[in-house]
Amino acid sequence: MADRAFMYCPLCRNQGSPRVELNRDNVDMFCPMGHKAPHAQMLSLNPEMIKMEVRFKPGINDVKAEVWVNSEVLMRAKESLGERFHPTVASLIRSCMAGEPVLIDGQQAAELRELGVKNGAEMVATVKLNAELSAQNETLVAKLNEWEERMSKAMASVG
């Protein structure tokens, strides 16, 4: 069975038709103009990828909701999110229903990523580890204080 390869045929491109789609089966990639080659060979010709246009489609149980929001913010959000605007807002609303959500802005997300934390699960693990280390640290400090006290008592009794 043939599937879409989500690439344009590089051989057609070389002949001046850059928008002929490639299909693929388990072995070959081929186009309707008769070009055909094994996957690796076709890929070595640097075919242009077809960007997946994800057209937003509401689900059957979805309703359109009215939300009061700053007009400029709304405009900017629609601009920058494009097709992801509706699913993003919908998933935010859904998150609010699953307990109290923790929202992180882009700057904070970038800082977390730089520190090697890539998702919520890793955040939780990091905070847990921090609590564990803090508790260990507290125990060690208490022990150290205890020993210092003993030492000074011992020194005093010697002197």
Q: Which residues bind Zn ion (CB under 5 A)?
A: 9, 11-12, 31, 33, 35
Min. distance of Cβ 33 from Zn ion in angstroms?
A: 4
Min. distance of Cβ 64 from Zn ion in angstroms?
A: 43
Q: Tell me the two tokens of residue 88.
A: 């993003």
Quick check: 47 and 22 in contact, CB under 8 A? yes
The strand order across the sheet containing 36-38 reads 3-8, 21-24, 28-30, 36-38
Task: Closer to Zn ion by CB, 25 or 149: give it.
Answer: 25
Task: Closer to Zn ion by CB, 5 or 35: give it.
Answer: 35
Min. distance of Cβ 110 from Zn ion in angstroms?
A: 42
Task: Closer to Zn ion by CB, 3 or 72: give it.
Answer: 3
Burial 90-114 (b: 16+ CB within 10 A, else e): eeeeeeeeeeeeeeeeeeeeeebee
